Structure 1
Amino acid sequence: MKTSQILLIVVALVVLAAVAYTFTATESPEDYIEKIEKERERQFKFIRFNIESPLTEEQKRNFTKLTFFDIDPQYKVKARVIPIENKKVREIPLTDGSKQRYIEHAYAEFELEGKTNKLLLLQAMDEADKRNFFLAFADATSAGETYGGGRYLNVRQDGKNSITIDFNLAYNPYCAYNPDFACPIPPKENILDIPILAGEKNYK
């Protein structure tokens, strides 16, 4: 084989490797941290300035920051989606005693803190995109470092049988800031006995 042919083969392999990397490489740790920080900044600005913020005008005047755990990539987990075959409508209690209806869609099963955990994925009755889910959960930090009524995540199915749950994006319900708001209470299936040291801390 001629030297020129060998060189062409090597170049072709390098190009293929570069293409494969482009399609398979995950974001760098720096990019990931920057993305979470931008989302946290967006949350702060919404709570501080938006007309739909749960804060009263008096609260806004004294509001300077939201408090979060340090960003920890181990709390971004890939979960297995276990469909619920006979999907039912579930009435989730709210903090004011009323109820809100959701569809029990599936369970998300994942490994964290050395054990297998499972959370119920709920879907709003009027959700147009069937890959979007509402996840309300409580954990061993609830009523301590985090809000006693639990925290929320908006998650989106990103694989045929998988979904990414990033607890670094966990946020407080409106009633954590203002008791005049009614918020869904995490279902019993979503009360974890492990601490989730990620996401938003309690509002004080």
Structure 2
Amino acid sequence: MKTNTILIIGVLTVIVLAVIYTLTGTDSPETYIENVEKERERQYKFIRFNVDSPLTEEQKRTFGELEYYPIDPDYKVRAKMVPLENKKMVELPMTDGTLEKYLQHSYAEFELKGESIKLLLLQSQKDPDRRNFFLAFADATSGEETYGGGRYINLRQDGKNSITIDFNLAYNPYCAYNPDFACPLPPKENILEIPVYAGEKDYKKDEG
């Protein structure tokens, strides 16, 4: 169900985020916050107005705003990439009960709020750019303050053996807005016991 559209939008988002990281790599905290806010505004306009938005026309008419945690620069981390010796395809369960194949590429290892974290980085079969990665994760806020099916971050490798992960840019899958979309669920390796108070909160379907 509409997974091709999700992939195309994801690729475009990676390109946008790559530009953001280029602009914010050495900039002040104020500039960083401003650029994250601009990305959130871009996301809002896409969800609210774009023809490829997951919202139905009825939802668009009553749509209020996307809800986020406050921007916290500590949730932007530099992770070491540890490639898997035996890369293999894995079938992630989708929200509609189907399966979709992703390549298990490497682990991202980093410190977050004093905790040592290791998350599995995946690559889509449909993305020809081997520097792009898909990170689906769930945490202690999932099903409470954030969407129960987890959240996503689109990543682009920006170092020889490292990658930047910004949880302030974590966003909801399309199925959080519309159950007609099928979305991959996070692999078991990416289910965190700690809360991640960053990025997008759950979509309230009755707001507006």
- Considering the TM-score relative to the shorter chain, is it more than 0.5? yes
Tell me which structure has the larger Cα radius of gyration: 1
1:62-141 → structure 2 map (5 Å cutoff): 62-141=62-141
Q: Does 1:172 align with 2:187?
A: no
Q: Does 1:44 align with 2:83?
A: no
In structure 2, the gaps of 5 or more residues are 1-24
Identical aligned residues as a percent: 72
For the 8 Å contact 1:106–1:121, the answer to whether it is kept is: yes
Give TM-score scaled by structure 1 length: 0.87
Q: How far 1:30 moved relative to its partner? A: 1.3
SS of the residue aligned with 1:36? helix
> 1:104 is aligned with what amino acid?
Q
For the 8 Å contact 1:110–1:117, the answer to whether it is kept is: yes
Give TM-score scaled by structure 2 length: 0.85
SS of the residue aligned with 2:38? helix
Distance (whole Å) between structure 2 residues aligned to residue 140 and residue 113 of structure 1: 14
> 2:59 is aligned with what amino acid?
Q
> 1:78 is aligned with what amino acid?
R
- CA deviations over 1:54-77 (Å, ceiling 9, x no partner): 111110001021000000000000
For the 8 Å contact 1:176–1:203, the answer to whether it is kept is: yes
Distance (whole Å) between structure 2 residues aligned to residue 56 and residue 103 of structure 1: 32
Residue of structure 2 equivalent to 1:57: 57
Higher RCO by CA contacts (8 Å cutoff, separation 6 or greater): 2
For the 8 Å contact 1:113–1:194, the answer to whether it is kept is: no
SS of the residue aligned with 1:153? strand
Q: Does 1:160 align with 2:165?
A: no
In structure 1, the gaps of 5 or more residues are 1-24
Q: How far 1:113 moved relative to its partner? A: 2.5
